[in-house]
Structure 1
Amino acid sequence: MPELSASGAALGALAAAAVFATLVRGAALALVYPLCAVAALVLGAVDLRVLLTGTELTQQLPIGLPTIGLHLRLDPLSAFFGIVVNGGILAASVYGMGFDRAKELTRRVEPLFPLFAAAMNLVLLADDAYAFLFSWELMSLASWALVVARHADPESRRAAHLYLVMAAIGTAALLFAFGGLAGPAGGYAFDTMRGHPPQPMVAALVLAAALIGCGSKGGLVPLHAWLPLAHPAAPSHVSALMSGVMTKVAIYGFVRIAFDLLGPPAWWWALPPIILGALTAVLGLLYAVLDRDLKRVLAYSTIENVGVIFVALGLALAFRANGEHEAAAVAMAAALLHALNHSWFKSLLFLGAGAVLHATGRRDLDGLGGLIHRMPRTAAFFLVGALAASALPPLNGFVSEWLLFQAVIAAPALPQAALHFASPAIGAMLALAAALAAACFVRVYGTAFLGRPRSAEAAQAHDVPLAQQIAMGGLAFLCILGGLLGSVLATALAPVLADLVGGGLPRAGSGPTVFSLVAFDPARSVYDAPVIALFVAIASLTTLVVVHRLSARRTRRGPAWDCGFPDPSPATQYTASSFAQPLRRVYGTAAFAARETVVMPPPGDSQPARFSVVLVDHVWRALYAAPGRAVLGLSERLNALQFLTIRRYLVLMFAALVILLAIAAVTT
């Protein structure tokens, strides 16, 4: 099997790069990222071949659990997610080639970067519970070590600690899920699980455990608390991998369990991912709109996109349970395409945020501004990513969300009343999330790149090295190409859709042109991206020509609008906080109990006026802060046990023995 041999060689190269980076210092570390880029190219080529041909490759190694071994399998589903993973690894590796070795913390990052990349690929290849959980934990620990690379920063340590706790909870949930799938016989190979699906009650518990285990890694509300802390704390190219790629490995885990290993679904399986996904999409963007940290805003946007993917997966489960294979294929195609598209535009945005951080040393939006004049290429690439994240045509983010809304429109035809009546509400929440996404990225781009510099660092910014521009430019090109060729990408998913939902896109290739994407009916559900792109280009050029023809030829200059304050200070500009004020007043009061406090000195008092905003994260307070305080208080009370005398220790041991004997006597 030459494909598996090539994959094994590429994974071996990643492992060798990790070992190499731990043994060398100085300029030799520059070889790590080229090795990772080559390995990602090889792995991506193998994945693409398997996806397009619909083949399946298996291998069993004499390691792992006794008498079971280590099972590896590369099928169309894992190949598709391998393309997602290795595309992100390639972009991050090229970006890493442009680091300044004298200033960046490369000695702490480069030994773990290839290990992280290899672990994500191993999760996709795992074909038994042991291999999956081992690779999953390796991925978690490698990413945790990358988050804590700047261990001198207390925020990095706090983010890493919370991430480690949530990763442990997620792994425990997945261990429970695979235990339920294995059953009393302990069949830990995935082929055995497929042949012996669990009973309905066990299946419900397995689905809940899969949602907890994979949802915690992906950032599904209310398991998202670690993500907006850990993703910004990591180095920027690692943030791109964690946000754009690692969350897709979590999506893969849920798809593998719910659509492959768990057996035929019941209709109500769709409700938890749909409801949690819709809440995640809206809350993620509400967090993003109100935050002022550039990388944290992007992390919250990732939470929103994960929610969108889970809504699509829930609809696919509902349609599949009712035998609507064509509609299930549309929903599943929306989920898979959005996973691919999000990996491209979110990796681009995080790399762009890394470029801004490299040039200015700042992440706070209110300290940026005017970067379009000092970082023109980064500004252009970031704009493409922002438009794609806002789901505007003809970029790639629109394609998958258009497919999702087609599935939502078809959902009222489902026979179950809960799904029938929930679909309009889900559609409204997704529409609200789409509007908030546009507002979020108008705010981010306008505050960071337009206007005048709000700080000396922003005024002295400069563009990043060529390698980092190439990485961002390649992802921007993919965002444009993925939007124009969305029908080609959807057609390539045919082997995956056939395996997961037993069908394909109902009218693939039946549109007016070869680039037309048809959801159900060519007469009413057709999206033709090149035609729309051509229309936008013609309309824009026509408007430009008409304006120049009708206006005076002489360039006119005048003072910028000063909001009624003729002060040249950049402080008179709109800030990120002022842009978010209307949305905060509309949604923040209900979602975050937002309170605004204004302290205005009386006339004649020279003290400055003060304005403050207090937001309450109810999810954090109820699910994390309150249990944390309870555990801390209990531990402080139990801490007295270590200061007892020997006589009291003997009394405690004797009492415990008596209680255990009493329990044994009652139960026998």
Structure 2
Amino acid sequence: MLLILALMLAGCCALMLPAALRLWAVLRLAAAALMAGFAVLGALALLAPEAEPLALPLGPPWAAALVGLDAVSAWFLAPLGALGCFSALLLRPATRTELLAFPPLLLGLVLAAVAADGFTLVLGLLLAAVAAWAALPERRAARLMLGFALTGGLCLMAGFALMSAGAGSLGFAALRASPPEGWMAAAVLVLALLGAAALGGLAPLHGWVAGALSAAPAQVAPLLAGALPVLALLAALRLVLELSGPAQPSWWGLAPLLLGGFAVLIGGFRALVEDGLRGVLGGAVTAGLGLFALGLGLALLFRGSDMDVPAALALAGALLAGAHLLLGVGLLALALSVVQMQAGPVAGARLDALGGLAHNMPLAAGAALVAALSIAALPPFAGFAALWLLTQALLAAWRTQQALYQFAALGTLIMLGLGMGLLAMAMVRLWGMVFLGRPRSPRVAGAEDAPGPARAALLFPALALLGLGALPPLAMALMQGAVEQLLGGAAPASILGLAAGDAGARYLVLPVLAVMAGLMALLWWVARRRAPKGLAEAPLWQGGFIAPPPHMPFGDPSTQVSAEGFAAPVLAVLGGPLGGYEARVLAAPPGSVAAARFESRWRDPFTRALVRLTSLRHQASLWAERGRLPAPRAALRVGFLALLALLALLVIAERP
């Protein structure tokens, strides 16, 4: 099986030939078939994971690069292969740079998922980040993303280097046998969290996510939204949970626990107040990554307190949140990419420019609805299953008998509830404004549904997401190997649903489905019975509007809700402490008949901090012109080229 994996990695490199010749149709089919093979390989490895890694004929001078399909790699490889396959189906005629960047992006993500040593893991993440940087046409957003990615990659590499000081190797088996101790262990924790946050976009280091997603091509956006953040946090999961050993203290879980809750809150807020499609998607990415980090922190906290069942419950929630981030947020990115392709790049960039697409694009609307409901964590979708596991683990924190841990869990629970509520409102706003109401332009009114292969790219992940939510016991059974590998114990299981231990709460999917179906039927019956006679009926996608007059075929835009107006109440309450929101009413001067004006401004404090760093760089450039400092731009270019040359030498150098 691992030999087949090595051959498929070589086939990923062979995709460069059709990309260089701009044979985009050949590249699309070949990349889709290759990533589908990875998905099948990951699914087979979930049933029978391989323990022994495979040494590739490449790597640094001190050892060969190792790849393997253990239980953890298989859990992430299966949805990654599916997302890569569906993303490849969206490939369209593009520039040579975009086509050439797509195969290395896939190769880097697969390498990071199946890596069995620290060098290969960081190399795969950096390769994917550099390929995404090359594919972004907006150079400012690309440079910002690359800066965060290089910072995160260097932090992760430093963490692996510290651990290898005692093990003598970067292989996971050797690192697992000699875990770090003392100050070195604390340094590994800090470097792992900092690297994963910068490379994956975990708050507060999420300033690059919205800009990079807004500039990403259709085939790159799902991978940049779902795959790269998950694999970056997978590196932190490997470092602090699997390779650092079970003897680490409980306080290790406080930082990822609080960071995860804060990321869910910030992600939900950003998704609700952003007025662009990809901005809303960026908020969903930050919130989903926060759920993953929250579960990691709880697993560390419970493992240090010798609470095996809550630790396994929290880790199962983290793994399910990671898989849901790949499939759920990836499906939303696919649907929004299809909307932008069909409704036009200008109109598709803002929520206020769309509307009424449910009539012309029913498949895209259905896929986006499934993804939005799952991201909003409504039962019986996969997002709710992950949230239920994490909430049950948080409620078990009172058993730690440490006041600090109990208050940390309580604060995280508050941030989790508020953040998920804001995220649910954001998904309602997104789907309602994009697919309901009236079209706001002729281009949107004439948009057609997903063409050809893009239909499969929306239909199959939607079915997979529905299956993952309807069959959580199957998902729990498939992840048992990963939980045992990371913690040494199995997660609580139930045949009909999810269980929080032998005497704990249970989430039974079929009874929940029956109750929800009965309530919806009762609501429909009451609405029909109590509706007065003689009312005019209008299609669902028009939001109850009657037919527009002939002189105004798209209706009056002022009669439809705006993106800013929907988020105004939340901005008024939370905008100040979370986003630096300012609003004022400018009244007309005395004696004037002019109307009063309402002005508002929202500036992300984290983006403001990046602007300050940019101003410092500009000041350094001014000093360099006066001869006081070396030019920072030239120094960065030389340093980047030197780093690439060093990595190339390490890969091709002859090993002893």
TM-score normalized with structure 1 length = 0.87
> For structure 2, which runs of at least 5 residues remain unmatched after alignment?
631-656
2:584 to 567, 581, 597: 597
2:565 to 573, 578, 593: 578
Q: 1:90 to 1:604 in 2, by over 3 A?
A: farther
Say whether residues 1:283 and 2:266 are aligned partners: yes
> What residue in structure 2 maps to residue 337 of structure 1?
320
- What CA distance in whole angstroms lies between the structure 1 residues aligned with 2:528 and 2:60? 73
The Cα shift of 1:612 comes to 2.3
> What residue in structure 2 maps to residue 234 of structure 1?
216
* Amino acid of the structure 1 residue aligned with 2:299: A
Equivalent positions of 1:86-125 (< 5 A) are: 86-96=81-91, 99=92, 101=93, 105=94, 107-125=96-114
The Cα shift of 1:162 comes to 0.4
Report the 3-state secondary structure (helix = DSSP H, G, I; strand = E; otherwise coil) of the residue aligned with 1:92.
helix
Equivalent positions of 1:382-531 (< 5 A) are: 382-506=368-492, 508-509=493-494, 514-521=495-502, 524-531=504-511
Contact 1:94–1:471 (Cα < 8 Å) also in 2: yes
Q: 1:550 to 1:222 in 2, by over 3 A?
A: closer
- What CA distance in whole angstroms lies between the structure 2 residues aligned with 1:612 and 1:497? 52
> What residue in structure 1 maps to residue 649 of structure 2?
none
> What residue in structure 2 maps to residue 661 of structure 1?
none
> What residue in structure 2 maps to residue 656 of structure 1?
none
> What residue in structure 2 maps to residue 128 of structure 1?
117
- What CA distance in whole angstroms lies between the structure 2 residues aligned with 1:326 and 1:620? 40
Q: 1:561 to 1:81 in 2, by over 3 A?
A: closer
Report the 3-state secondary structure (helix = DSSP H, G, I; strand = E; otherwise coil) of the residue aligned with 2:378.
coil
Contact 1:484–1:515 (Cα < 8 Å) also in 2: no
- What CA distance in whole angstroms lies between the structure 2 residues aligned with 1:409 and 1:521? 16
Equivalent positions of 1:28-39 (< 5 A) are: 28-39=23-34
- What CA distance in whole angstroms lies between the structure 1 residues aligned with 2:565 and 2:119? 51
The Cα shift of 1:606 comes to 7.1
Aligned-residue sequence identity (percent) comes to 31
- Stretch of structure 1 that moved more, 549-558 or 434-443: 549-558
Contact 2:201–2:209 (Cα < 8 Å) also in 1: yes
- What CA distance in whole angstroms lies between the structure 1 residues aligned with 2:426 and 2:167? 51
Contact 2:214–2:278 (Cα < 8 Å) also in 1: yes
> What residue in structure 1 maps to residue 75 of structure 2?
80
> What residue in structure 2 maps to residue 60 of structure 1?
55
The Cα shift of 1:550 comes to 6.3
* Amino acid of the structure 1 residue aligned with 2:131: A
Report the 3-state secondary structure (helix = DSSP H, G, I; strand = E; otherwise coil) of the residue aligned with 1:597.
strand
* Amino acid of the structure 1 residue aligned with 2:564: S
Superposed CA offset, 1:523-571 (max 9, x none): x511111221222223323443454466578663599889xxx995122
* Amino acid of the structure 2 residue aligned with 1:166: F
> What residue in structure 2 maps to residue 657 of structure 1?
none
Report the 3-state secondary structure (helix = DSSP H, G, I; strand = E; otherwise coil) of the residue aligned with 1:598.
strand
Q: 1:370 to 1:603 in 2, by over 3 A?
A: farther
Report the 3-state secondary structure (helix = DSSP H, G, I; strand = E; otherwise coil) of the residue aligned with 2:153.
helix
1:177 to 159, 169, 174: 159
Contact 1:369–1:450 (Cα < 8 Å) also in 2: yes
- What CA distance in whole angstroms lies between the structure 1 residues aligned with 2:628 and 2:407? 58
2:133 to 127, 144, 147: 144
1:544 to 514, 521, 524: 524
Equivalent positions of 1:251-270 (< 5 A) are: 251-264=233-246, 265-270=248-253
- What CA distance in whole angstroms lies between the structure 2 residues aligned with 1:560 and 1:637? 58
Q: 1:534 to 1:631 in 2, by over 3 A?
A: same
Say whether residues 1:296 and 2:276 are aligned partners: no
Say whether residues 1:355 and 2:338 are aligned partners: yes
Higher relative contact order, chain-length normalized (CA < 8 Å, sep 6+): 2
Say whether residues 1:614 and 2:601 are aligned partners: yes
The Cα shift of 1:292 comes to 0.2
- What CA distance in whole angstroms lies between the structure 1 residues aligned with 2:51 and 2:102? 29
The Cα shift of 1:639 comes to 2.5
The Cα shift of 1:7 comes to 1.2
Report the 3-state secondary structure (helix = DSSP H, G, I; strand = E; otherwise coil) of the residue aligned with 2:58.
strand
Report the 3-state secondary structure (helix = DSSP H, G, I; strand = E; otherwise coil) of the residue aligned with 1:517.
strand
Superposed CA offset, 1:147-171 (max 9, x none): 2xx3xxxxx1110010111111111
Q: 1:243 to 1:557 in 2, by over 3 A?
A: closer
* Amino acid of the structure 1 residue aligned with 2:15: A
> What residue in structure 1 maps to residue 653 of structure 2?
none
Q: 1:21 to 1:516 in 2, by over 3 A?
A: same
- What CA distance in whole angstroms lies between the structure 1 residues aligned with 2:595 and 2:397? 56
- What CA distance in whole angstroms lies between the structure 2 residues aligned with 1:120 and 1:621? 31
Contact 1:174–1:210 (Cα < 8 Å) also in 2: yes
Contact 2:343–2:443 (Cα < 8 Å) also in 1: yes
The Cα shift of 1:185 comes to 6.9
Report the 3-state secondary structure (helix = DSSP H, G, I; strand = E; otherwise coil) of the residue aligned with 1:237.
coil
Report the 3-state secondary structure (helix = DSSP H, G, I; strand = E; otherwise coil) of the residue aligned with 2:81.
helix
Say whether residues 1:368 and 2:354 are aligned partners: yes
The Cα shift of 1:489 comes to 0.3
Contact 2:436–2:543 (Cα < 8 Å) also in 1: no
> What residue in structure 2 maps to residue 650 of structure 1?
none
Contact 2:437–2:543 (Cα < 8 Å) also in 1: no
Superposed CA offset, 1:285-305 (max 9, x none): 112211100111111111011
Report the 3-state secondary structure (helix = DSSP H, G, I; strand = E; otherwise coil) of the residue aligned with 1:373.
helix
* Amino acid of the structure 2 residue aligned with 1:537: A
- Stretch of structure 1 that moved more, 52-61 or 161-170: 52-61
Contact 1:6–1:43 (Cα < 8 Å) also in 2: no
* Amino acid of the structure 2 residue aligned with 1:144: W
TM-score normalized with structure 2 length = 0.89
Report the 3-state secondary structure (helix = DSSP H, G, I; strand = E; otherwise coil) of the residue aligned with 2:380.
coil
